[in-house]
Structures are given as structure tokens and as C-alpha cells.
């Protein structure tokens, strides 16, 4: 039986919910429900006629469901946001909040395999029904694919050497646990930098397993159509890959290239930025180490 650990306080709680500029009778979506902290704060600010929908693909998070007539928890990946909101009769909303990355609960659940601190089966699936786990990535991906994902998602310059080492080791015997993987790559983990490099390796594998970048792009592309005029997007990200995508999408409505101009050279973009980039205070970082790399960006639908 799986033990459910407590979820830490949500990062940038008040700042991210303030960013939604909540109307008491509005319709809002928390696409990363987790422990329910952001959702509870949104519900406090909603009136009797307001509605909140939340998404989470992690079965553990579903145990934190909130008993409130205004609240609906949808057990799905947020990349399917439009489809599942429509099933609930919702075509447009007034605000969407996302707290990206892995919850502290997922890191603290040893058996999930997210953390470098515990020896566990190579898993890392946020949705435990997904067919591909970290085991398949490490033991079945071609060397070139491994090298590419370590470079792209872990920003590891020696990705080729790391991939070669993994492929060489697994030809002797499968690599089954997080500590076995650590052992295989030991020569690339100098003591002062061991934790940082391992975290980058685990991040890269986790992003691949959960298709995090693809899911984030699919989710963002649906937001301009979903949000009402002056609707708000409030997004917390934790690593540069996510933050670059969020920043660029809020700025231009696309992920690469230049936005199209009309006959007069004017650019039409779906959002305008609200305020500046928000970072957690030193006090919050002291209370919650996970907050140290958090960045909050807020945008409003034009």
C-alpha cells in the first residue's frame, strides 16, 4: 500500500493567485492541482456563483479532492484542457493557473523514482498508467536518442559520453534502479558537483518520460482560445526550458520564429504581459527549498 505524504506549501501562493485578478462569479482552472493549495486559495476568493476546475494526472493528488460544490477535479493531463472542460460544458474561462514541474510530494515518495536521494526502481511517471517509464528510456533508447535528451532537457554538455556509458553498461545487464544508474555514471560525478549533475540527468529523463515540454506547448497553444477577454494566465516554472517557452508564448503567442505582421507592419499577439517577472522572497526559499528556482509570469488576454 502506498503511503501518502503531506504536500508542502505551494510556491508563490498569494502572488500567483493575485495574478488571476479573480472575479467572484468567474470560472477558473488550476491545471496542476497537487496538494490543492492554490485551488483552496482560489476558492476562498470565489463567490457562490464562481467555479473552479482542476487537473492532475497523478493518482496520489486525487486523494486531496476538495468537497465544495463550486469545485471539480479532473484526473487528466493538462495538455487535454479544452477537451475535458468542454465535457463539463465549459468553453471559456476567466483565468488559468499552472505550477509546473514535480511536486515536493512526488520527490519525497521514494518508490516513485523521481529523487536522486532514494534507491528506487527507475520509474518517474507522473501518470502511473503511462506505458513508458524511466526504465524504458535508460534501457531501450538508442545511444543517439539518449544523448539528445540529456543535452536538450538536462543541458549537459557531455551528453554523448553519458549516453555511451549507459549503453555500454546496459549491454552487460539492465539498469533497474536510480542507484544503479548513479553507479554506472559515477566517473562523471565529481564530489562537489555530484548532486547538481545527477539532478540534471534525472530532470532530463523525467521530462522525456512525461513528455513535459510537448504537454506544456500543447496546453499553452489552447489558452488564447479558452480565455475570455482580459482573462489571466498565471504560470510558475522551475527550469529555463519551461520558462523560455512560457515567456516567449506570453510575448508573441508562438514558440519560435517571428510573429506575423499585417499590411501596416503591426503584430497581433494574443497576450500582454502583466507586471514584471516575480521571484520568491528569501524568506519563502528558507521555508521551502523547492521555491529557489521558481519564476512566476502573468499575462492578460488581449
Which is it for strands 51-55 and 71-74: parallel, antiparallel or unpaired? Answer: parallel
Q: Are 88 and 53 in contact (CB under 8 A)?
A: yes
Rounded Cα distance between 157 and 91, Å, is 44
Q: What is the pTM of this model?
A: 0.88
Q: Please return the burial class of 129, using the count of CB atoms within 10 Å of its CB with bins 0-12, 13-18 and 19+.
A: exposed
pLDDT at 243 over 80: yes
Task: Tell me what pLDDT residue 3 has.
Answer: 38
pLDDT over 70, % of the chain:
91
* Bigger pLDDT: 262 vs 219: 219
pLDDT at 8 over 90: no
Amino acid at each position: 500500500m502506498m503511503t501518502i505524504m503531506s504536500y508542502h506549501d505551494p510556491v508563490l501562493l498569494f502572488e500567483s493567485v493575485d495574478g488571476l485578478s479573480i472575479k467572484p462569479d468567474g470560472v477558473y482552472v488550476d491545471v496542476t492541482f497537487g496538494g490543492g493549495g492554490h485551488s483552496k486559495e482560489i476558492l476562498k476568493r470565489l463567490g457562490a456563483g464562481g467555479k473552479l476546475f482542476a487537473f492532475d494526472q497523478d493518482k496520489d493528488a486525487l486523494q486531496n479532492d476538495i468537497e465544495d460544490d463550486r469545485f471539480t477535479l479532473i484526473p487528466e493531463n493538462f495538455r487535454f484542457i479544452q477537451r475535458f472542460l468542454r465535457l463539463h460544458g465549459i468553453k471559456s474561462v476567466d483565468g488559468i493557473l499552472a505550477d509546473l514541474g514535480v511536486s515536493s510530494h512526488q520527490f519525497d515518495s521514494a518508490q516513485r523514482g523521481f529523487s536522486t536521494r532514494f534507491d528506487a526502481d527507475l520509474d518517474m511517471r507522473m501518470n502511473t498508467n503511462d506505458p513508458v517509464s524511466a526504465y524504458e528510456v535508460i534501457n531501450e533508447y538508442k545511444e543517439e536518442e539518449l544523448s539528445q535528451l540529456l543535452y536538450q532537457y538536462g543541458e549537459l554538455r557531455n551528453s554523448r559520453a553519458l549516453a555511451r556509458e549507459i549503453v555500454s553498461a546496459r549491454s552487460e545487464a539492465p539498469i533497474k534502479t536510480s542507484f544503479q544508474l548513479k553507479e554506472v555514471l559515477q566517473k562523471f560525478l565529481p564530489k562537489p558537483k555530484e548532486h547538481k549533475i545527477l539532478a540534471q540527468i534525472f530532470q532530463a529523463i523525467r521530462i522525456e518520460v512525461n513528455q513535459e515540454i510537448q504537454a506544456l506547448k500543447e496546453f499553452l497553444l489552447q489558452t488564447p482560445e479558452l480565455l475570455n477577454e482580459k482573462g489571466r494566465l498565471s504560470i510558475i516554472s522551475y527550469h529555463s526550458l519551461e520558462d523560455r517557452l512560457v515567456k516567449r508564448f506570453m510575448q508573441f503567442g508562438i514558440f519560435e520564429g517571428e510573429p506575423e505582421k499585417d499590411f501596416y507592419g503591426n503584430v497581433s499577439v494574443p497576450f500582454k504581459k502583466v507586471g514584471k517577472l516575480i521571484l520568491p522572497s528569501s524568506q519563502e526559499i528558507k521555508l521551502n527549498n523547492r521555491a529557489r528556482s521558481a519564476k512566476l509570469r502573468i499575462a492578460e488576454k488581449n
